[in-house]
Each structure stands twice: as structure tokens, then as C-alpha cells.
Amino acid sequence: MRSYCTHLSSLIVLCSLAFMGLQAQETSISPYSRYGIGDLDQGNFVGNFGMGGTGVGIVDGLHINPLNPASLSFLGFPTFEVGTTGDYGTISSSDQSVTRKNFRLNHFAVGFPMDKGKMGAAFGLTPYSTIGHSGSTETYLPDLDITQVSEFTGNGGLNRLFLDVARSFVVKSDSSKYSQHSSVSVGGEFNYLFGSLSTQRNSIFPANNGYMNTRVDKATTLNDVSFGISTMARHYLNKKENDDDKKFTVLNVGAVLDIGGNLSGRKTQDVYTYSQNVSEVVTFKDSVNSFNNLKGFITLPTTISVGASVDFFFLPENAKNLHKMTVALDYKTADWSALTEDFGSEKDFLQMGKLATVHAGVSYQPDANLRTGSRVSSFSIATYRLGYHTGNTHLLIANQAITETGMSFGLSLPVLAGGLNRTNTQLDLGVEYMTRGSVENGLLEETFWKFMVGFSFHPYARFDKWFQRRKYD
């Protein structure tokens, strides 16, 4: 019992550190994050990221699948996952461009099977939306014959603390020793969304012209719970009937309904005037139209995701180990134009459109047997991934939908796999090249590289002792 308490204490400490890390960092490099609640996080862990953001219809017994809670009923081992992400990109307008970068913690999660593999659960912490922008615009005012400079910055975002549970049911039993059952799994997700959205806007006039500069500071704190339901169906298109069969195929189909609902919040605003001399010394003059802790809420839209994958298990000629290839396709949609806000007369969350994205991916495992006791190389038992996604984001700016396209590559590399002590602990890597927006109609185009690095730990071989009970205390 003491060993379990020790493990639990360690997880609580790690979760707390993850929480503080997510709260303290600039989490986006995109100017588009100034709209709405920020740049929406896709919810990917590294495995999903490498396959183009697919996962609604994917069954993976070694990784937590955050895109479909119902898949947790197929989780084979207790799992601890942590991941980081970084962005490096260029933001371009019609006449100039800038380069920006950042690095942050992406997720922390713990998953575990229950009831002899019929149930599964997971909890963790991930971003829900991110804000991190800074920029300026110049506007010539002909009536005053001066040029006004508008500076804007923002930071923060919303975090998601989640608890997911799933239960599978056998639809058609398999009496063979291979236990290739057709099954249906149902899952529920319970989310606590929390965070703050902070923005600052400066309207600056030339020095000594008689006009006062204006600064607007806004901070909105939001928190509340949300729910979702999901399902996953798994069917063997053809089965392994005997030991001589060299291939079989499995179809997986999933669907997820994330119910939006209200997020309660409080908004604070300070508006004041100031002067700034040529030495950039700021002198505050007056405060106008300020309020503190104005109560209200925003209403998030419902998100629908559907997906399917096909697992091909086969044994190539002269090969000793079973190979696995997975092909996946997802579709995700949400009407963010229905986003509503109620903070009295204060309305900030505008410029929303209809999100509709398509995701495709493929993965390949040269050795899918997951056996111990043989000498293997890490690369021979690694998982390789390719992915692609495209579609409209949730933004509609100047009546123009902001589109996004990305191509990705991923790799899960088992560690400590070079000898007889085979382990399922893996180093997960992913990289994506993505474009967003366009320079047409005075908008911005983003091109950037996104990187994800994570670890997934599993209690399997003698090196993986995360959740093993001690014989003696």
C-alpha cells in the first residue's frame, strides 16, 4: 500500500508542476490568437500529432488517445505520458515579415486499464486554447494630419483538466485462442476548463501634438465544467484462424460529441490616458471607463468528430515478426459563429466562423508482436507515422475564412530495447510544417514548423516499475 501512495504522491507533484508550467508561459506565436478565446489547441498527443491529428477512430494499446475517450477500454497497460511542444515560424503581411518562436509544456496524462481489460480511464492536463501575440498597425488620420499607431499584445489561454472513462462490450464472441472479438466501447469525458485571457491595446499619437494616448487593459478569467460522450466500434474484417495465417485486418470506427456549454467568468478593464515624451517616459493622466470583476459567461459551441481506421496485420515473405500498418481518416466540425458572450455591454469575442477540418494519417510498425526475450533494435520495433490535415479554422476575418494546412511526421522509439529486457517505454517525436491564412485582403500568412517531444512510460519489463506493487514495505 505504501508503494501505491508513493506513486500517487509523485503523480500529484508532477501534475502540479505541469499546471504551473502551463499557466506561466507564453503559449502561442500567432497574431490570429487575438480573436475569440485564442488559438484552439487540437488536443493532440505526440502519436496523434504525427498522424495529422487523427485519433477518433484509432485503437492504440500503448498510448492514451485524447481524441476519443472510448478508446481507453483498449488500453493494454498503465501509462504515464508527458509532452512538450515548440513553434518556429514566419508571419508575413503584404509588405513585411517577422520570425517568432516559443516552447512550452503540452500535456500531462495518466491512463490505466480496469476490470480485466474491459474498462479504461485517464486523467491529465492539456491546453484548450492559447493566446500569445504582439504587433502594431499605423493609421493616417487626414482630418488631424497625423498618423496614429495602434499597439496590441495578448497572453494566456484556457487549460483543460480532464477525466475520461470507457467501457467495452463484446458484440460477437470469438471462440478461438486468438480472442478476436467484435466489440463496441462507450466513453465519457469530464472537463474542467480554466484560465485567463489578457490583452492590452495602446493608441499612440505623435509627441507634442496635443492629443492624449490611450491604453486599454482587459483581463477575463473563465472556469467551468464541460462534458462529452464518445463511442468506438472494432470489427475484424478477416481473422487469424490458425498459426499459419499470415495476415488479418481490423476496422475501427469512432465518434465524439463534445458538448460546449457555458463558461462562467469575470472581466476586469482599465482604460486610461497617458503622455509619452521623446525619451519614452510615460506619464499617466486619467482613468476612464474602468470596471472590476464584472460577472458574465461565454457559451462554447458543440464539436462533432468522426473517424475511422483500418489496421493491417501481415507477415512479409522471409520476415519473422508480424508487421502492422494503420490508415486513418477523421473529420471535425464546430460552428464557432454561434459563440455567444454575456458580460453586459462588453463584447469582445467576435470574428468567429465554422470550423471544418479533415485529417488523414498512416502508421507502420515493422514488429507488432510486442514480445520479450529476444535481442532487437529500437528502430526495428519503432512506430513510424505520416499525416496531413486541411480545412477551415474557427476564424472568419473580414468575411474570409482562415484556412490551415499541415503535413507531419512522427516516430515512437522504444528505449532500453537493445537486449533481452524489452520495454514498452517510448520516446515519442513529431514534426509538422503548417501554413495558415493568406496575405490577401490585408490579412496575414503564417508558415511555421511545429515540434512535439514526449515520453510514454509503461509497466512491462523489469525496467518499467511505475505501478508495480512491492512485495515488502
- Distance, CA of 189 to CA of 170 (rounded, Å): 22
Measured CA to CA, the distance from residue 294 to residue 365 in angstroms comes to 54
* 118's grid cell: 474491459
Exposure string over 400-425, b if 16+ CB within 10 A, otherwise e: ebbebebebbbbbebeebeeeebbbb
Burial (CB count <10 Å: 0-12, 13-18, 19+), residue 472: exposed
Integer Cα distance of 12 and 196 in angstroms: 23
335-346 CB burial, b ≥16 within 10 A, e <16: bbeebebebeee
Neighbours of 379 (CB within 10 A): 12
Please tell me the predicted confidence (pLDDT) of residue 26. Answer: 52
Burial of 38 (0-12, 13-18, 19+ CB in 10 A): buried
Q: What is the pLDDT of residue 244?
A: 67
Alpha helices in 30-180 (DSSP H): 46-50
CB neighbourhood size of 226 (10 A): 20
pLDDT for the residue 269: 86
SS3 455: strand
pLDDT digits (tens, 9 = 90+) for 164-206: 999 999 887 766 666 677 899 999 999 999 999 888 888 887 7
Predicted TM-score (pTM) of the model is 0.86
pLDDT at 461: 45
Interatomic CA distance for residues 264 and 342, integer angstroms: 10
DSSP tag of 346: B
Amino acid at 10: S
How crowded is residue 268: how many other Cβ atoms within 10 Å of its Cβ?
16
Among 411, 420, 413, 412, CA closest to 461: 420
CA distance 229 to 190: 9
- CA–CA distances in Å: residue 159 to residues 53, 222, 279, 358, 377: 19, 10, 40, 24, 38
Dihedral angle computed from the Cα positions of residues 413, 419, 422 and 426, in that order, rounded to the nearest 10 degrees? -20
Instruction: Please report the pLDDT score of residue 441 as a whole number.
Output: 80
Closest by CA position to 68, among listed 47, 50, 38, 84? 47
pLDDT in tens, 347-390: 666 668 999 999 999 999 987 765 444 556 667 778 999 999 99
Per-domain residue ranges for the chain?
A: 2-457
Strand partners, 123: 110, 163
Burial letters 56-80, b for 16+ CB under 10 A, else e:
bbbbbbbbbbbbbbbbbbbbbbbbb
Q: Is residue 323 within 8 Å of residue 263, measured between CB atoms?
A: no
Positive or negative: CA dihedral 368, 371, 375, 379: positive
β-strands 354-365, 383-397: how paired?
antiparallel
Strand ranges for 244-319 from DSSP E? 247-259, 261-276, 282-300, 303-314
Q: Which residues of the chain have pLDDT under 70?
A: 1-27, 174-179, 207-210, 240-245, 276-289, 345-351, 369-378, 416-424, 459-473
Residue bearing cell 494519417: 361
Cell, residue 93: 503581411
**Fold topology of 2-457:** Porin (2.40.160)
Which pLDDT score is estimated for 5? 47
- State the Cα–Cα distance between residues 61 and 234, nearest whole angstrom: 13
